[in-house]
Structure 1
Amino acid sequence: MSELIAALPMYDWPEARDEVDAQWASLRDAFRRKGIDAPQSIVRRNGDLPPVPGGIRDGEGKLVAPNPTTLPPDELDFHKLWMHPALLFAQTCWGPMELGLSRHVQVVGQPSYDAYEGGQGELYSSALVMRSGEGPEVRSPADGKALLPLDLIRDRRFTFNSLDSMSGIIALTRDLKAAGENLNIFSSRSESGGHRDSIVAVAEGKADVAAIDCESWALAQRFEPAAKTVRIVGWTGRRKGLPFITARTTPEKNVRAMREALAGLAEQPPIQRVG
């Protein structure tokens, strides 16, 4: 049994778990063919994480996260997962990476977003959504540039999944700045806890605008009834999508083997591309 762990938490909606498990099975088998002792299944809760006596420490021995056994077992703390020394493979977001996670992990590759409107190769964008009837619906710009309906969103209530989310708030913040605006264009801002929660908040009238990454929006179209009452009124510019990562301590030969495995899967759905 492998002592390593893997997770694909970013698009692991309850309704899509069989698909996520199948994605991991494809990755796992490709990694094993390269000689990597990949775990049989992915972790979905803190209780699945191996204990780290004394807590998780960085390369200099500084404590950066507690022993996972001290965390609520039925929840999943993404940041503790990402910094776990036994991490073989997981997804993260460039927001946390820019805020310091990059010091603790290695980037293995990037997924492809070709299957989603707003995506192109390793680049993705976020759909700006509002309730139906509050603005004209728009398609993703072919050039991948931001399409911000400034007059439409001005003085509206904005909700976002988390402050460290590239797709939920950071990308929009940067695009607004490029347009000579900032988040003060909104009358208020609130944190929803997740892209799905943001969609529901807009649909229920608790907020007016949200930025939803294109893959999460595609999931919402399939599984979230509230998505039927909201529409896309704008787009953020395309940026690098969610990277695949491994622990900083993962041996270079294993990182290289995983990159080769991802390249070998590049022609199979879901497309994986080396970063």
Structure 2
Amino acid sequence: MSLASLPMYDLPELRWATDRLWQGVAGRLRAAGFAETPAALDRRADPAETWSDPDLLLSQTCGYPLTHAFAGRLSLVGLPLYDALGCEPESDFGPTYCSAIVVRADDPATTLADLQGWRAAINDWQSQSGMSALRAAVAPLAKGESFFSQVLETGAHAHSAAAVAEGRADVAAIDCVTWALLGDVRPQAVERLRLLAWSTAAPALPFVTSRARAGEAKRIGSALTDALADAVTDPAFSEAVAALRLRAVAPPERADYGRILEIEAEAEAQGYPVLR
């Protein structure tokens, strides 16, 4: 039996929308001949377990694991376009997103340089938006030395935002789609934070399938695109897509995930290979 997961923006308050999105996509996949399409999403605590499974039918991942731990192990299906500040539909490397670098609302920092010696929160060491984007932002200021006094790994962007708001950390880089969604579902939490700067842009978080299904990737991508087109005539599905801020899915050939590696290389060239 195949499996599917959509872990990237699956906040607890939005699981109803993620499930409804999957129901629409699953129907299109079955209609396209994927009879083994699962009825429900796999929500294992570690999404890497599903990304590693050769029976993976559809998931969404970050560009950093796609180009590092899972390089050559997943096939691109499509590129999402989101209705969120910080997302752009066109660039030299496809649809993009960036990170909101945030501090507490009452903190005095006005520039990235003011963050030196502060405590940073990251969602994961294998995250483009939470780790690599922040590393790239402060690399020119670090001059090859430690920039932060502490780096706290929280496990999720929402946890990083909470760590800053609660004073356990001073700064975090939050995926701009997550930042927008938190503003929708947890406005009081976001009000305790302040946007200090935007990070450099990176290719949007890709929809993927197992490398074993590389020959079926276009059919899977078409089913995903067709499902989103259904939102025009299905009010319940449209409500879910709008709640997730998902506008469209672009074809994988528009992507250039080499940009993820370039961002990392630029920080390394400045003597700052590790966020510290």
TM-score range, shorter chain: 0.7 to 0.9
- Cα RMSD over matched residues? 2.1
CA distance in structure 2 between the partners assigned to 1:246 and 1:89 by the alignment: 5
1:235 aligns with 2:234: no
Give distance in 1, aligned partners of 2:177 and 2:53: 26
For each residue in 1:4-53, what CA deviation from the matched residue of structure 2 results, as whole angstroms up to 9, or x when unmatched?
111101111111011101111222122223222222221113xxxxxxxx
Q: Contact conserved, 1:84 with 1:247, CA < 8 A, in 2?
A: yes
Aligned length: 230
Q: Quote the offset at 1:95 in angstroms.
A: 1.3
Q: Sequence identity of aligned pairs in percent?
A: 33
In structure 1, stretches of 5+ residues that fail to align are 46-75, 138-148
TM-score, length-scaled by structure 2: 0.76
Q: Is 1:170 paired with 2:168? A: no
**Structure 1, residues 104-151: CA drift from partner, whole Å, max 9, x if none?**
2111111112x00111122110001101122588xxxxxxxxxxx222
Q: Within 5 A, what are the aligned runs for 1:177-196?
A: 177=139, 181=143, 184-196=146-158
Q: Deviations over 1:143-199 (max 9, x none)?
A: xxxxxx222222211110110011001122123336675682222211111111111
Is 1:29 aligned to residue 16 of structure 2?
Answer: no
Equivalent residue, structure 1, for 2:175: 213
Alignment partner, residue 119 of structure 1: 87
SS of corresponding position for 2:146: helix
What TM-score comes out, normalization by structure 1 length?
Answer: 0.77
Q: Does 1:272 align with 2:241?
A: no
Runs of 4+, deviation exceeding 6 Å: none
User: Does residue 110 in structure 1 map to residue 109 in structure 2?
Assistant: no
Q: CA deviation at 1:89?
A: 0.3
Aligned partners of 1:186, 1:7: CA distance in 2, in Å? 34
> Could you say which residue in structure 2 is the equivalent of 1:7?
5
Partner secondary structure for residue 121 of structure 2: strand
Q: Which structure: greater helix fraction?
A: 2
Shift of 1:263: 3.9
1:140 counterpart residue number: none
- CA change 1:251–1:105 in 2 (3 A) is closer
Distance between the aligned counterparts of 1:127 and 1:246, measured in 2? 28
Alpha-carbon separation, structure 1, partners of 2:161 and 2:176: 13
